[in-house]
Amino acid sequence: MKETGVNDTSGLPVPALLALAMTGFICILTETIPAGLLAGISAGLHTSPSVAGQVVTAYAAGSLLAAIPLTLLTRTWSRRTVLLSTVGGFLLFNSLTAVSGSIAVIMVARFFAGAAAGLAWSLIAGYARRMVSPSLQGRALTLAMSGTPVALSLGVPAGTWLGDLMGWRLTFAVMSALSVILIAWIILVVPDYPGQTLRQKVRLTSVLFIPGIRPVLGVVLTWMIAHNILYTYISSFLSRSGLSSEVDIVLLIFGLAAMAGIFITGRVIDRGLRTAVLLSLLLFALVSLIFGISSTSPGVIYPGVAVWGLTFGGAATLLQTALADAAGEYADIALSMNVVTWNSAIALGGLTGGLLLRNEGAGSLPDALVILLIIALIIAFRASKHGFPAGNRSS
């Protein structure tokens, strides 16, 4: 089967990569916006806030449970067909959420929206890499992943504001409208590529034991548990320094720094991926150590959060690139494992942080981060041959 679209060896196919970034943007919005709309959702559906909050859980469960099965199921499909299917899923299930008056129907819609997101995250990195020559793959993936920090730093606050202004149903309708625009965008500018042939199918366990896969997933798990412990309980942590009323400002600083981090990552990833991973982990560990010593000082919190955001901004790009490099032609399967690992880390981060908060207090959170990040550093440092090799990626 002939590939439509030409690998760009002289520059980046920016419009096509931005379509992938927009896909990630909608993934993040669909996942996180309900957290800022729970009061409206609860009142509109005549249910308790705790029950309404399970719309977030349903989405995460869909991503966690469906990413690998859907990736395996669609491996033989053309890549653009899979991409359009995921965006079509957002259109359908966000629309259903916008119009339904049943909490049960909305839970089902959220589960399948999460499943669409799990498939999208397993697809985006490999798709971006196929559009360019090996020497540009890191930069291409950086651009394709840029929708994530934009959504976290700007899209979520804007969506919450829109919900307060227009109501939660119209907010979901706006996301459906964005999906319609994105479908047209994909059809017009995104090249198509064939899926795997039946002969190329492989068992999941075979991919897991490819050299380098397990170390990268180990770093994903430990790094993201650490991140989510702090991110999930940032309000409780900030209360120690009297900044709990300024969570929005702190998270804006984090988001803007994350955007800067993804820009820097795009400049260095192809020639220094290993260095970027080790340096990001080291800086986050140092910030966590400082937070543990001086968590009551506002003068420490603001620059510390900025450094934390800077190290996190490029994390997804760095880790997905390392995973795809190690997996080779089985990148989509490896990246579906990344979706499962990432969502597991979100859940474990929330669980671990909650236990620490209840039993030891907010002051114990940085200590847990330091331990997890040291483990991540050891794994990444030891994976110098497979996983996080030194030198230029294209070599």
In sign, the C-alpha dihedral spanning 192, 198, 204, 210 is: negative
pLDDT at 6: 38
Per DSSP, 3 falls in state P
pLDDT at 248: 76
Instruction: Report how far residue 175's alpha carbon sits from residue 152's, in angstroms, rounded to the nearest whole number.
Output: 15
What residues contact 303, with CB distance under 8 A and at least 6 apart?
A: none
Q: What is the residue-wise DSSP string for 370-395? A: HHHHHHHHHHHHH-TTTTS-SS-TT-
What residues contact 142, with CB distance under 8 A and at least 6 apart?
A: 262, 263, 265, 266, 269, 314, 317
Query: pLDDT (tens digit, 0 to 9) for every residue of the chain, 395 residues total?
Result: 334 443 443 578 999 999 999 999 999 889 888 866 777 888 888 887 777 777 877 888 898 888 889 988 898 899 999 999 999 999 999 999 999 989 999 999 999 999 999 999 889 988 998 898 888 888 888 889 888 777 876 766 777 777 778 889 999 999 999 999 999 999 999 999 988 765 555 677 788 889 999 999 999 999 999 998 888 788 788 888 888 777 778 888 888 898 899 889 888 888 899 999 999 999 999 999 999 998 778 889 999 999 999 999 889 889 989 998 998 888 888 888 998 898 888 878 888 888 888 888 888 899 999 999 999 999 999 999 899 998 877 65
pLDDT at 201: 59
Report CA-CA distances (Å) from 3 to 127, 153, 192, 217.
12, 36, 6, 31
pLDDT at 379: 97
End-to-end CA distance of the chain: 28
pLDDT at 2: 38
The token pair at 376 is 């991540």
pLDDT at 222: 97
Q: Which domains can be identified in the chain, with CATH numbers?
A: 14-200 (1.20.1250.20), 204-382 (1.20.1250.20)
pLDDT at 317: 87
Is the model's pTM score more than 0.95? no
